[in-house]
Amino acid sequence: TKNITLVRNSAENISATFTDTDTTIGNCSATGSCTNIIYTNTNFDNTSTSDIDVSGTYGALELQIKPDSINGTELADTINLDANLAVTGYNVSFDSGTLFVDSNNDRVGIGTSSPNQALHVVGNTNMSGYNITTIDCIVFDSGGKICALIE
């Protein structure tokens, strides 16, 4: 391990740690708070994130996770957001079909990962307080449907 500390001014340091396979660079102050932390391994794919050990407070952070997954055992049981969560450009799946959002066709599947309607539910449902007010119908796979009667 090779440690390098560069003094930017009397209150802030830029620190870098290099090993044979990993590189961590952070803008750390004398009080231990760090911003702009960059970590990579020799493959430059952030696969070894368990090796990062940092403490203190951190400024705005953009985290790129590669390969395209997060190991849930490494996360807390709850993720608290302080802003809206937007997932754009790709499908979202919870538990292989429990809940599936098809971003290409603007459809949601419950119990299916291939919804063929705006809302496609596979399995029993319980609806209460529904009110059909247009010609649109609720269609059942068994061949039946409920439609509004328009006078």
Q: How far apart are CA 146 and CA 119, in angstroms?
A: 16
In the chain, the number of structural domains is 2
Domain contains 17: yes
The pLDDT value given to residue 36: 54
Domain contains 65: yes
Domain contains 108: yes
Domain contains 40: yes
Give the E-state strand segments of the chain in sequence order. 2-7, 12-18, 22-29, 34-41, 92-94, 99-102, 107-110, 119-121, 137-139, 145-147
Domain that holds residue 103: 92-147
Are 133 and 148 contacting, i.e. CB atoms less than 8 angstroms apart? yes
The pLDDT value given to residue 80: 74
**Top mean-pLDDT range of 6-10, 50-54, 133-137:** 133-137
Domain contains 85: no
One domain, residues 59 and 105: no
Are 50 and 74 contacting, i.e. CB atoms less than 8 angstroms apart? yes
Q: pTM of whole model > 0.75?
A: no
Dump pLDDT digits (tens) for 19-65.
555 555 555 555 555 555 555 555 444 444 444 444 455 454 455 55
| Residue carrying structure tokens 């993720």 | 79
Dump pLDDT digits (tens) for 58-91.
454 455 555 556 666 666 667 777 788 788 888 8
Beta bridge partners of 41: 22
